[in-house]
Structure 1
């Protein structure tokens, strides 16, 4: 049975992560970067001050909320909870092991253009969101596909496919791969059986997930900031301790990325292809730009301006990949566990264990324990974030009242995820990531003129002082309500 699943998944994975899909993924990011005037660079100061900078402003806009929505900061924390996870530790290490140091460069490129893909998704998410029967915001790729595309029939088909893939993906990227990695590290660091870890996590997840978005957002808002800061501090200390290897590590990243060195003795073309593929795959696994996943929680934000939440999407990718993943990569590359001249791994470890070994080299057993706990917090918060994505996708397919069924099944699956084969869990996650990305990217591509108009409208009002009507919602009633409020 496992062999059959592996075989089928391998065939599908080869298609969804082939050249056409990777080209679409990067192509849409490049297109949105061009159409928005390279917004992530030209308006760098503005989006930084409007996101993380607003945390320190007097009006405290980042924490504004109401009865039906969460604050922009809570939306960011929940989105980061789903993205800053195993992908930032095990994913980066796996990319380097399989694709060589050059994979890091392609992760950066995927993140750079992914900032504007994520921006576009969130702009569309806010613009096309609706209120469900409970009066709560419901948004995401399924809504801008079904409501935004001119061909309504095609839009509904794509929306349904996205929702189905998202539900399935939530059990892979958002459950099995995360919980399995936690269980493996708990066994390695503390000799705790996987089944025990699975049962404990199932109970904890159930207590939070059944409480809905408000409870999930409340928990992630408390977990995500300190866990990211602690991990970054630990990683930064290691990189500084190995400062003499920083220059060589960056050199290796660029040399292997462009085939100036052949990773692992492979032919140059093969080595570059491996670096590109693994860099893009793990980059997307890490920041999820292009999947259309985090837009579901961003759409529940209290903001009224689509561009405002779009900028939180830019910061999400920036923090996840440019900051966290880069530090993880430097931890691995400066640790001496990889021969930077040949790209050959000098240890039998891989994935998160490779990062754990790097920490152990500097801090001994405390380093291994630190990574095990970091992965526990990172991955568990990812489970919480993805449970919401799956819930909203299920809601789109079967209605609001039926979501309790999904939540119960998702929570019970935590035990299964803790005890299944790790490699298969990762492979299945990759496959459903790609399947989710397909309909979402098609939607972003065809709705790119809408994103461009909304962005130009915002820039004209914000930077040029033009007195024009804001573009806030595709729904006339919501547009009027929000326009009157700003």
Structure 2
């Protein structure tokens, strides 16, 4: 545990925090504070399009823009919002919430950049379906355009970091913990039922994921937010005090109180940043893979959905969780993870509150697990892109083995008595390495992103000049293909 804590502390220490914040600030300035000054446009092009979902669609793609973002939000709005945020507060104090917000505000433009680049550099497979993501823009942006021969090494390390979450996954464990403890069901029984549903959803591949997510994600998000808002409004008198604790704790740390052991400012920053990335995945390089399959007429238009995704995930859903935990004082109980969130809701609306959160955890976990299925599949498709037969066989094996590691984590927790806090340390470990590589790569490719933003502003916002001959997709430019 001590060694693991030191490694995670180093990975999520000053280098990675500076990299994420620095890249986010650079993109913010370089795009003219796009996520702030054009927030109305982002909202109009995303939330405002929910009833007009086919506007701005292109002709190529597996999913509609809405299905893509629903799958991505399903992959990010998950147990990290309930169990992860609670753990951040339990370990780093209320001040961790402030740094979670900061990471999310710059994370909006980081996610916008990685989604935009993933869509721009995507490739079509042998049947004409587009796929993209960090390994694709490493190959084309770094390898072909910048002649960097070491791109396969970066792609391998990135892919290995992402695939490590295939074995160290939090969703099944958190769902089993929340549902099992709430309803008095053995954790293993919940886990088995959970993986049966996962098999059912992924059986139809990525198009099936998009359809399920498009129906389930809006419902589960609204369901959870309304429950949290009810508690916040009910205890509105506690809101100013909770906000004061969050802001002061961000810069001074939090003293020991109740079952809370105390945390320094550095711990608050580390936990807030780590949980923000784990929750909204900005910079992680994951959701750009599913966004790359969307039917869109411009890469930046899909990038807007990426910014919207971070806003919904952290600024809305994670904030709801955080305020309920801090306002109720449950964070001083010594509990952590989903158990802490369950306790906070139960304190305010009784047993129904605990049941409500248990159901939310189940839905959030299910959409996260099935959403991540797509990420691994796209990595495998890129790895075996030159051998169609091997690719098809690998994907068949992968589909049948995908849910297995989740139940192994439950077995470790139940029979190996591995505590939840340790599992979350493993989660931090697996998110840090690919995030570091991906953020550095999009920083190197920033001229392409900034040019695409300029083109989008001129082409679709009437804001500045643009080159009408510029091809907004890499594969549509014969000069680049050659």
TM-score by length of 1: 0.90
- Which secondary structure does the structure 1 equivalent of 2:149 belong to? helix
Secondary structure of 1:258's aligned partner: helix
Alignment partner, residue 410 of structure 2: 418
Match of 1:408 in 2: 400
Shift of 1:270: 6.2
Residues 1:394 and 2:380 are matched in the alignment: yes
Aligned to 1:444: 442
Deviates more, 1:212-221 or 1:424-433: 424-433
> Is 1:48 the counterpart of 2:47 in the alignment?
no
CA separation in 1, counterparts of 2:422 and 2:476? 47
Contact 2:60–2:295 (CA under 8 A) maintained in structure 1: no
Q: CA deviation at 1:65?
A: 7.5
In 2 relative to 1, CA 67–50 (structure 1 residues): closer, same or farther, beyond 3 Å? closer
SS at match of 1:464: coil
| Alpha-carbon distance, 1:15 to partner | 3.3
Deviation of 1:423 (Å): 3.1
Please state how far the C-alpha of 1:133 moved relative to its aligned partner: 2.3
Of 214, 224, 243 in structure 2, the residue corresponding to residue 221 of structure 1 is: 214
Say which is worse superposed, 227-236 or 463-472, in terms of deviation: 463-472
Task: Work out the CA distance in 2 between the residues paired with 1:65 and 1:214.
Answer: 16
Quote how far apart the aligned CAs of 1:302 are: 0.1
Asked if 1:296 is matched to 2:286, the reply is no
Aligned mates of 2:476, 2:58 — CA distance in 1? 22
Matched, 1:151 2:147: yes
Aligned residue-pair number: 460
Distance 1:76 1:362 in 2: 32
Contact 2:87–2:421 (Cα < 8 Å) also in 1 = no
Alpha carbons 2:54, 2:64 under 8 Å: kept: no
The superposition leaves residues 223-257 of structure 1 with CA deviations (integer Å, 9 ceiling, x where unpaired) of: 11000001000000001111110011111111111
Partner of residue 433, structure 1 = 431
2:129 aligned partner: 136
Matches within 5 A, 1:57-456: 57=52, 60-61=54-55, 64=57, 68-149=61-142, 150-172=146-168, 176-259=169-252, 262-264=254-256, 271-338=264-331, 345=332, 347-399=333-385, 400-401=391-392, 402-421=394-413, 422-456=420-454
Q: Counterpart in 1 of 2:388?
A: none
Q: Counterpart of 1:27?
A: 22
- Cα deviation, 1:24-72, whole Å, max 9, x if unaligned, reads 1211111111111110111111111111111234x7427x586742001
User: What is the deviation of 1:139?
Assistant: 0.3
Cα distance, 1:164 vs structure 2: 2.0
Deviation at 1:479, TM superposition (A): 10
Distance 1:230 1:479, change over 3 A: farther
How far, CA to CA, are the matches of 1:425 and 1:408 in structure 2? 24
Once the two structures are TM-superposed, the CA of residue 10 in structure 1 deviates from its matched residue by 4.3
CA distance in 1, matches of 2:95, 2:85: 11
Instruction: Give me the CA root mean square deviation.
Output: 2.2
Long gaps (5+) in structure 2 = 386-390, 414-419
Counterpart Cα distance in 2 of 1:352 and 1:379: 11
Shift of 1:14: 3.4
Partner of 1:483: none
Looking at structure 2, the residues matched to 105 and 479 of structure 1 have their Cα atoms a distance apart, in angstroms, of 47
Matched position secondary structure for 1:301: coil
**Helix, strand or coil: the match of 1:420?**
helix
Q: Partner of 1:109: helix, strand, or coil?
A: helix
CA–CA distance in structure 1, aligned partners of residues 455 and 255 of structure 2: 47
- 8 Å contact kept, 1:303–1:309: yes
Structure 1 stretches of 5 or more lacking a match? 1-5, 339-344, 481-486
1:55–1:61 CA contact under 8 A, matched in 2: no
The separation in 2 between residues aligned to 1:76 and 1:99, in whole angstroms, is 31
Q: How far apart, CA to CA, are the structure 2 residues paired with 1:17 and 1:72?
A: 32
